[in-house]
Structure 1
Amino acid sequence: MDQWYTLADLPTLVTQLLHHYPPPHIYALEGELGTGKTTLVTHLCRQLGVREPISSPTYSIVNEYTGREGTIYHLDCYRLKDVEEAIDAGLEELLGGAPIAIGGAVFIEWPAVIEPLLPPGVVFLRLYHDPAGEGRRRIHVTTG
């Protein structure tokens, strides 16, 4: 999947993503600052039934939400220095399968530092700014 979208297109885009890559999954979001990673996670969580407030886990590293089908974890690895710090924070256990085995989802912003911990089958969502500056973004989706 590779397409351009605007903020107004997000509900449709999220419906398409969840249709093609439904939970349980780990979704890794990559992109420069301001490409809309947290905004996309917010829309994904809403469509998965999260009713509570959704915020970036930049300082807490992990936020946990309750969705219709299971627990949803939202990770932000931007502040992690290395994979050892991720292991010390318990991310290895979190990515070990339990949340996805029970119908939940894991959304990871800035996943590069924990890539050695990612299991096979991760859905990579790469976000890009519109070089023309027209407020659009591009999403490129692959699985690993």
Structure 2
Amino acid sequence: MLNAVKHLFGAVHIAVRSFIPQDDKPQIFIKVLITVQSLQDLPSTAEAIITGSANNRIFLFYGDMGAGKTTLIKELCSFLGTNDVVTSPTFSIVNEYQVGKESIYHFDFYRLKNQTEALDMGYEEYFYAGAYCFIEWPERIPDLLPAHYSNVRITVAGDGSRLVQIENI
């Protein structure tokens, strides 16, 4: 992952931290910080996220309204090869896109009133299907998240650029 990110960006800020989980097996988590100055930076950002995901297929997107979560997810879907129109699933809660015979699921849990609504829609059939799942507003379903995923946090800087922080869990 580090070589892929360095190749794409050169001066990316990378922090490595380790932690010992309950099963006493050391694990290393890599945190990557990418500054996105313009929309032209999104293809390489999407490539870094997917290639550096440690085989995670679940991605949790955090950021304020308008930070660019859906825009980045559109680029991720394009990088993965979908020709479908990628739109925000704010009202449908989940959109499905196709790449050949595989599916990509794009969730927006912003409108959920409680986690029971995600249970009612059968979220686990999506999360555990082995497909890519891009989840906006995961903080609405904290008890339903799988054990392994990639966090993607988007922060808007004062100059309008975006700081994208990726961390594999």
> Where does structure 2 lack aligned partners over 5 or more consecutive residues?
1-31
2:145 corresponds to: 118
Is 1:141 the counterpart of 2:157 in the alignment? no
User: Which structure is higher in RCO with an 8 Å CA cutoff and minimum separation 6?
Assistant: 1
- TM-score (normalizing by structure 1): 0.89
What is the letter of the counterpart of residue 117 of structure 1?
A: L
Q: Deviations over 1:9-49 (max 9, x none)?
A: 11111111111116551000000011100000000001111
Asked if 2 retains the 8 angstrom alpha-carbon contact of 1:23 and 1:105, the reply is no
Residue from 93, 98, 108 that aligns with 1:66: 98
Alpha-carbon contact 1:5-1:136 (below 8 Å) kept: yes
Aligned-partner Cα distance in 2 for 1:93–1:73: 11
Corresponding letter in the other structure for 2:73: V
Moved over 3 A (4+): none
For 1:140, the aligned partner's letter is Q
Question: Secondary structure at the residue paired with 1:84?
Answer: helix
1:106 equivalent among 126, 130, 133: 133
Match of 1:4 among 28, 32, 35: 35
List per-residue Cα deviations over 1:100-119 (Å, max 9, x = no partner). Answer: 1xxx3000000111121111
Change (3 A) 1:56 1:8: same
Which residue pairs with 2:64 in the alignment?
A: 32
Quickly say closer, same or farther: Cα 1:69–1:23, change in 2 above 3 A.
Answer: farther
For 2:165, the aligned partner's letter is H
Matched-pair identity in %: 38
What secondary structure does 1:58 align onto?
Answer: coil
Partner of 1:127: 154
Please give the root-mean-square deviation of Cα atoms over the aligned residues, in Å: 1.5
CA distance in 1, matches of 2:66, 2:126: 27
With over 3 angstroms needed to count, the CA separation of the structure-2 counterparts of 1:116 and 1:91, relative to structure 1, is same
Deviates more, 1:14-23 or 1:110-119: 14-23
Give the TM-score taking structure 2 as reference length.
0.76
Residue 82 (structure 1) shift: 0.9
Higher strand share: 2
The alpha carbon displacement at 1:3 in A equals: 1.9
SS, match of residue 128 in structure 1: strand
CA distance in 2: counterparts of 1:80 and 1:36, whole angstroms: 20
Q: Secondary structure at the match of 2:75?
A: helix
Matched length: 137
